[in-house]
């Protein structure tokens, strides 16, 4: 019974919640408060897992996940777990995230309470509610805000109790990498989403726009990283630029791939996110 839940949690996508916490914490002044880091990381992971659970259950209910799906197996559509069971698990994850948030709120006050509440509401609204963001072309905006700016700035703030330009730029880096993952996913599913009236930006704007969007957001973190180098006045922050080589390889593959082939591009995008995040931590340590 463990395997279906691992599938529903989508572990290969969890870099989207881990990397922003790494970036925000790496930018913070020393010494790092490791217990605070742990609670921030736990809360971020649980909110993303809850989002994935809700997406699994509600996409099935809305008819967006069918047997024609080109991506990884979805447990609700496959009949491994009921939609009701997956939704209950999502609410348990939200509760766990709220528990992780208590020490952060005690340390950092109402800003962390606001971040926590907004993150949970947005996680549900991504697929659920009267105006689901993913079904109305707002997925990129959601990802940039919550897996970029909110996650990085929040992780920085609980350490430093302030916000700096470098933290904001770091949020843009993390958000851009998460957008790349999302848009590749939407590009792969463009035909099935069109049939089920899931009006992602890929469905609205087409294949060429989506490929250009991926290219833009794959390069964007490196432009922002150059700005971080100038703000931090640190040569150590040059280290993440090494990941540009993988970004270029990813873009080339995206422009020559379609359908199920884009699953390999998704794997590359996840690797790019991990590589950038790890190199960012190394570069920040060398400041």
Q: Give the residue with greater pLDDT, 19 vs 82.
A: 19
pTM of the model: 0.93
- Buried b / exposed e across 161-181, counting CB within 10 Å, b at 16+? eeebebbbbbbbbbbbbbbbb
CB 82 within 8 A of CB 32: no
Banded pLDDT at 67 (limits 50, 70, 90): low
Q: How far apart are CA 248 and CA 48, in angstroms?
A: 27
Q: Which residues are CB-neighbours of 164 under 8 A, at least 6 positions away?
A: 27, 156, 231
Q: How far apart are CA 49 and CA 87, in angstroms?
A: 11
**The predicted structure's pLDDT at residue 283:** 95
- Average pLDDT for the chain: 92
Of the listed ranges 44-53, 128-137, 220-229, 275-284, the one predicted with least confidence: 128-137
Task: Tell me: pLDDT of 65 over 70.
Answer: no
Banded pLDDT at 76 (limits 50, 70, 90): confident
Q: How far apart are CA 209 and CA 49, in angstroms?
A: 29
Dump pLDDT digits (tens) for 178-234: 999 999 999 999 988 888 888 999 999 999 999 999 999 999 999 999 999 999 888
Mean pLDDT on 243-266: 95
């Amino acid at each position: 019974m463990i395997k279906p839940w691992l599938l529903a949690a989508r572990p290969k996508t969890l870099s989207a919640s881990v990397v922003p916490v790494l970036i925000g914490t790496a930018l913070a002044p020393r010494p790092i408060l490791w217990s605070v880091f742990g609670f921030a990381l736990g809360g971020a992971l649980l909110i993303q897992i809850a989002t994935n659970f809700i997406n699994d259950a509600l996409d099935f209910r809305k008819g967006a996940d069918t047997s024609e799906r080109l991506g990884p197996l979805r447990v609700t559509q496959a009949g491994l777990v009921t939609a009701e069971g997956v939704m209950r698990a999502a609410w348990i994850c939200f509760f766990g995230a709220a528990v992780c948030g208590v020490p952060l709120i005690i340390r950092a006050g109402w800003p962390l309470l606001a971040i926590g509440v907004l993150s949970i509401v947005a996680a549900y609204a991504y697929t659920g509610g009267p105006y689901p963001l993913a079904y109305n072309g707002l997925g990129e905006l959601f990802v940039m805000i919550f897996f970029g700016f909110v996650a990085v700035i929040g992780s920085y703030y609980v350490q430093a109790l302030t916000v700096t330009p470098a933290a904001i730029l770091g949020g843009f880096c993390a958000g851009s990498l998460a957008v790349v993952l999302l848009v590749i996913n939407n590009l792969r599913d463009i035909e099935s989403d069109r049939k089920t009236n899931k009006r992602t930006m890929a469905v609205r704007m087409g294949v060429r726009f989506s490929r250009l969007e991926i290219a833009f957001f794959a390069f964007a973190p490196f432009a922002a990283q150059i700005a971080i180098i100038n703000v931090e006045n640190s040569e150590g922050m040059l280290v993440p630029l090494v990941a540009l080589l993988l970004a270029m390889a990813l873009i080339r593959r995206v422009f020559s791939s379609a359908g199920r082939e884009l699953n390999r591009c998704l794997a590359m995008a996840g690797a790019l996110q991990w590589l950038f995040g790890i190199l960012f931590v190394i570069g920040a340590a060398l400041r």
